[in-house]
Amino acid sequence: MSNTANFPDWHGTTILAVRKGGATVIAGDGQVSMGQTVVKGNAKKIRRLAGGRVVAGFAGATADAFTLLERLEAKLEQYPDQLARACVDLAKDWRTDRYLRRLEAMLIVADKDSMFTVTGVGDVLEPDGGVAAIGSGGNYALAAAKALMDSDLTAEAVARKAMGIAAEICVYTNGELTVESL
């Protein structure tokens, strides 16, 4: 049983990562919804870590995501410039630690060389095709970005256009974007 069983039906996050032409971009919308009500329209769900060398976006419970980002930051200090190792170590802790395994969030993490989706069930997935997405509108943004990858658009332009498409389709996604590039 989910530990959110006694809490309102919170929705709202679309995070998209695009790697194209030597650039990596992570974009996130700003909407947080409770049931059918928009609670906040300009939330920041993208963070820079490791002195700006790593960008992470999160979907899920905000406090849980912040806890995971703090843990990831510590792993990046322990394993500088080894994003894959830091993510695997975080996923291992997340899955096995009694406290962490109750956290409900997902992360997309990228540096200049790598991109990973990290989940609480122990997954550290490197996406095919340079595109990854999570959250309520993630599948819409993912499909749009994949369709745009063959275009002449830059990584940032692909991310912005795909997020715009997701915002048109998903009621839990808006056009208030935070975009970070590497």
CB of 16 within 8 A of CB of 142? yes
d(CA 149, CA 163): 14
Q: Any catalytic annotation for residue 13?
A: yes
Active-site choice (4, 13, 14, 119): 13
C-alpha 56/C-alpha 111 separation (Å) is 9
Residue-wise over 82-114: b if at least 16 C-beta within 10 A, else e? ebeebbbbbbebbeeeeebeebebbbbbbbeee
**Other residues' Cβ atoms within 10 Å of the Cβ of residue 135:** 28
Q: Map 38-68 to HEC letters.
A: EEECCCCCEEEEHHHCEEEEEEECHHHHHHH
Element (H, E) at 144: helix 138-148
For residue 113, which of 53, 160, 46, 153 has the smallest C-alpha distance?
Answer: 53
Q: Which residues are known to be catalytic?
A: 13
